[in-house]
Amino acid sequence: MTSLSELPIRDDLRGRSPYGAPQRPVPVALNVNENTHPVPDDVAADIVARVAAAVGTINRYPDREFTELREAFARYLGHGLTAEQLWAANGSNEVLQHILQAFGGPGRTLLGFAPTYSMYPLLASGTGTGYLAGRRDAEYELSPATAAAEIIRLDPDLVILCSPNNPTGTPLSLETVEAAYDAARGMVIVDEAYAEFMPDGEPSALTLLPGRPRLLISRTMSKAFAFAGARVGYLAGDPAAIDALRLVRLPYHLSAITQAAALGALAHADEMLAMVGEIRAQRDRLVSELARLGYQPHRSGSNFVLFGGVDDPAATFEALAERGILIRDVGIPNHLRVTAGTEAETTAFLEALAALGRPSGAAADAPIGSKA
């Protein structure tokens, strides 16, 4: 049987591994930051009806400009946005790929701030874009001064800021986004995949779009909307930047079924997002209980918690998996990451972790509470 190394693959792809989290059939999967709450029955019924209607004309190509969907995204985001400022694709990863295809490529570079989302360097590689890893401040924070200094030092063609950051959960201030934009000479992308999990009233980088044509704000329906399986990501930016993405997208890249499903979910946005408050509560509960168990959880504005103080992350990961709990080893020494699930799922994780024994140097035992 032929091996990959025997094929005439691109030299820059040799020795690389595809992106992917472990997939195991376990009762409690808290490893890929999904919204573990199911779509409400009435919403699911409406989505099914819309998809069924789309199937009736499936012999025809879908709206290439997905106009109705862009109008729906503009209404959802607000901030005076219009359909001309919106883009969408099959997940936010494809949105980011479109950006790199249009503004990156051979001889150009993308700057991210490590540790951050592991797909950024993979997307850069796939588009022939060089990837640069900038530094962060202590506790994975990113101050305006540090962001600007790293941009000036490395002089990238594109900058990507993950807000809140994955895998650390660290929130990002608008002052940092402004400083990065002012220091950068090229496109600045703010990846707000987890924006809905930030505290109420916390401003989005969407407020910074006016007068900043090089600023792009990426979002996804995978997380807060519990729509990971539908693969829908979207972006807000200057109309000229949206035009640039049209140059690289594949024809009819959003299927009629995808458009119909997304429109159904957006029509019930309030109901779909009603579970966000519960997820925040479970996230805050994780922070509190992990600290009581002797670990060092980092502050999080997302639907997951990165925690340190893990003596042996690989062994802890496997021990939890054997108990039917799947979390994520993100490769940061002595750290693991866990998604905030339902109350029952969160309890199952905390009880399983407590049963493994406390980390070295941990304080006295504390009971696992059922609320944050």
Distance in angstroms (rounded) separating the CA atoms of residues 220 and 233: 4
| Same domain, yes or no: 242 and 325 | no
| Same domain, yes or no: 200 and 226 | yes
Burial 64-78 (b: 16+ CB within 10 A, else e): eebeebbebbbebbe
| Same domain, yes or no: 51 and 190 | yes
Q: Give the CATH number, domain containing residue 342.
A: 3.90.1150.10
In a domain, 7, yes or no: no
pLDDT at 14: 83
DSSP 58: T
In a domain, 14, yes or no: no
Question: pTM, whole model, 2 decimals?
Answer: 0.93
pLDDT at 9: 87
Q: Give the CATH number, domain containing residue 164.
A: 3.40.640.10
How does DSSP assign 254-287, residue by residue? S-HHHHHHHHHHHHTHHHHTTTHHHHHHHHHHHH
Q: Tokens at residue 178, please? A: 């402004």
Structural domain of residue 305, as residue ranges?
21-37+275-355
In a domain, 13, yes or no: no
Q: Which of 178, 173, 180 is nearest to 112 (CA)?
A: 180
| Same domain, yes or no: 202 and 337 | no
Q: Which of 223, 254, 270 is the last residue of a domain?
A: 270
Dihedral of the alpha carbons of 124, 111, 89, 98, in degrees to the nearest 10: -60
- Residues 195, 204: contact at Cβ < 8 Å? yes
pLDDT at 63: 96
DSSP 118: T
Q: Which of 203, 114, 143, 169 is nearest to 287 (CA)?
A: 169
Residues of the chain under the 70 pLDDT cut: 21, 361-372
| Same domain, yes or no: 226 and 302 | no
In a domain, 9, yes or no: no
| Same domain, yes or no: 309 and 290 | yes
Distance in angstroms (rounded) separating the CA atoms of residues 64 and 62: 6
- The number of distinct structural domains making up the chain is 2
Helix axes 313-322, 343-355, angle to 10 degrees: 120
Q: Which of 220, 244, 270 is the last residue of a domain?
A: 270
What amino acid occupies position 26? V
**How does pLDDT run across 268-302, given as a tens digit for each residue?**
999 999 899 999 999 999 999 999 999 999 999 99
| Same domain, yes or no: 240 and 111 | yes
In a domain, 360, yes or no: no
- Residues 244, 282: contact at Cβ < 8 Å? no
| Same domain, yes or no: 254 and 307 | no
What backbone phi and psi angles, to 5 degrees, belong to 305? -135, 130
Strand partners, 325: 28
pLDDT at 311: 95
In a domain, 6, yes or no: no
Strand partners, 160: 189
Distance in angstroms (rounded) separating the CA atoms of residues 330 and 306: 9
In a domain, 67, yes or no: yes
**3-state DSSP assignment of residue 236:** strand
Q: Which of 221, 195, 218, 217 is nearest to 206 (CA)?
A: 217
In a domain, 53, yes or no: yes
| Same domain, yes or no: 153 and 194 | yes
DSSP 187: E
Q: How many other CB atoms are found less than 10 A from the CB of residue 330?
A: 18
| Same domain, yes or no: 206 and 303 | no
Burial 103-133 (b: 16+ CB within 10 A, else e): bbeeebbbbbbebbbebbbbbbbbbebbbbe
**How does pLDDT run across 91-116, given as a tens digit for each residue?**
999 999 999 999 999 999 999 999 99
| Same domain, yes or no: 227 and 329 | no
Helix axes 67-77, 256-267, angle to 10 degrees: 30
Which residue is it, tokens 């985001």?
77
| Same domain, yes or no: 27 and 76 | no
**3-state DSSP assignment of residue 354:** helix
